[in-house]
Amino acid sequence: MLVLRFAVAGPGNCAVVGDRSFVWARTARGSFVLPARCPHRGGPLHLARLSADGGRLLCPWHGSATSLSRLLKTGVPAVRRGEEVTAVLPDAGDTPYSLEHRPLSRDLRTAPPAGTTAGRP
């Protein structure tokens, strides 16, 4: 397993593993590790907006909707401690990765309500 450590925000807030990248997203429904690239055509999912009902992420490129509940339930196992996130991917432990910066949309920088935990609504 590959254990990634990266910043919650600012420089180094995006872990890049091969052609995949991950950021820590915070919404009113919970916090979770978000793939920063849209599965449709690689758009910047880290800049996604929430749908009007707050239940889906809308990609800024073509508008594909991703269920927030699904991301929260089936996402990358992770925990936030202070300003750092530790996430676990199924990749080999010696898989190289780098840390970069990705800005987050306002909708992905909202503090979840007290009492919620990583990956759970």
Where do contacts with ligand FES occur on this chain (CB under 6 A)? 38, 40-43, 59, 61-64
Given the complex with ligand FES, which of 75 and 112 has the nearer CB atom? 75
Q: Which amino acid is at 50?
A: L
Given the complex with ligand FES, which of 39 and 54 has the nearer CB atom? 39
Q: Smallest gap, in angstroms, from Cβ of residue 70 to ligand FES?
A: 16
Given the complex with ligand FES, which of 47 and 72 has the nearer CB atom? 47
Q: Smallest gap, in angstroms, from Cβ of residue 104 to ligand FES?
A: 16
